[in-house]
Amino acid sequence: MAQTMRTMRAIGQDGFGGPEVLKVVEAERPEPGVAEVLVRVHAAGVNPTDSWHRASGGLGGKVIRLGWDLSGVVEAVGIGVTTLAPGDEVFGMPRHPLPAGTYAEYATSPARHLVRKPAALSHVQAAALPLAAMTAWQALVDTAGVRPGQRVLVHAAAGGVGHLAVQIAKARGAHVIGTARAAKHEVLRGLGADELVDYTEAAFETAIDPVDVVLDTIGGEYGPRSLRALRPGGMLVSLASPAEAYLAREAGPLGLRAGFMAVEADQAGLREVAALAEAGLLRPEIDTVLPLELAGKAHGLSDSRRTTGKIVLTVTG
């Protein structure tokens, strides 16, 4: 594909559908606006929300340029940027929930939606963190306020959000319980899980003692079942769907709290995530790394929901 200095390779789609609708296109290279930076993307994380937008357009119902996670190098800065400079290695989750278009060689971002990449992480590792780790952080810390000694149950603990939530809860001093297939238990023990339940063999709500916090990434029947696993005063945070907001009505009469949470860009939280990674307390488990042109294959793997940890696209070497 012929390119000029004003264009770049990116992943596009003409309509909604399965992973096969994704294709490499030549796109106009963006320019940073006021308080924005232009990042040369080295790697971009793949998340379930990407598949949702690919298939249906998400809540907006429109075709957008996919991708939110990125790790790369600042190429240029817009007017008014004082915190970053060309050459800085950065990572983040720009603009979420608005489109960011990080499945591309270049992407713009508000400067304060990014932080410097931890030196301990490669670009691939850093690109795996932002959306999933920020979701776990905002759910467990900002929403549930997890404290030392509390018992925290993480559903789909080997998934993209789940395996990072295990580590964040552990770093907060919690006793961490995860649900996952038996084949994934060894990995999760290595990440700090104290107890594990094979959901194919046992009902989690009766297999464990009551907990203070449940993080549910699955939804459906897991919501009401999770309420039965909570101690009085406990909290269920659902990440599955806005429809899960109904759980608050069921939780109230039981003396519990529950509701749906959506992640949002937050530099302060991202700094906390970066600090945990730099300290060796948070590391992404990378399931698969693929080049940008195989974004469709990456989505197929993501849609299977059989991966452990994260899928990452490499963009620039």
Mean pLDDT rounded to a whole number for the chain? 96
pLDDT, tens only, 235-284 = 999 998 888 889 999 999 999 999 999 999 999 999 999 999 999 999 99
Same CATH topology for 7-129+284-314 and 132-260: the answer is no
Q: Are strands 175-179 and 106-110 parallel, antiparallel or unpaired?
A: unpaired
- Rounded to whole angstroms, the Cα distance separating 166 from 170 reads 6
Q: Which residue has the tokens 């050459």?
A: 87
pLDDT digits (tens, 9 = 90+) for 99-133: 999 999 999 999 999 999 999 999 999 999 999 99
Q: What is the pTM of this model?
A: 0.95
Return the closest-CA partner of residue 106 out of 5, 238, 228: 5
Structural fold of domain 132-260: Rossmann fold (3.40.50)
State the pLDDT at residue 3. 56
Q: Domain extents for the chain? A: 7-129+284-314, 132-260
The class of domain 7-129+284-314 in CATH terms is alpha beta
Residues 67 and 63: their CA atoms lie apart, in Å, by: 12
Tell me which H or E stretch contains 53: helix 48-56
- Angle at 155 (CA atoms; ends 312, 67), nearest 5 degrees: 25
Using one digit for the tens of pLDDT, what is the confidence trace for 130-152?
A: 999 999 999 999 999 999 999 99
CA 144 – CA 236 distance, rounded (Å): 8
Q: Cα dist. 273→195, 267, 312 in Å?
A: 24, 10, 18
47-100 confidence digits (pLDDT tens): 999 999 999 998 889 999 999 999 999 999 999 999 999 999 999 999 999 999
* Radius of gyration for the alpha carbons in the chain, expressed in angstroms and rounded: 19
What is the reported pLDDT for 4?
56
Per residue in 4-20, pLDDT tens? Answer: 579 999 999 999 999 99
The per-residue pLDDT for range 23-52, each reduced to its tens digit, is 999 999 999 999 999 999 999 999 999 999
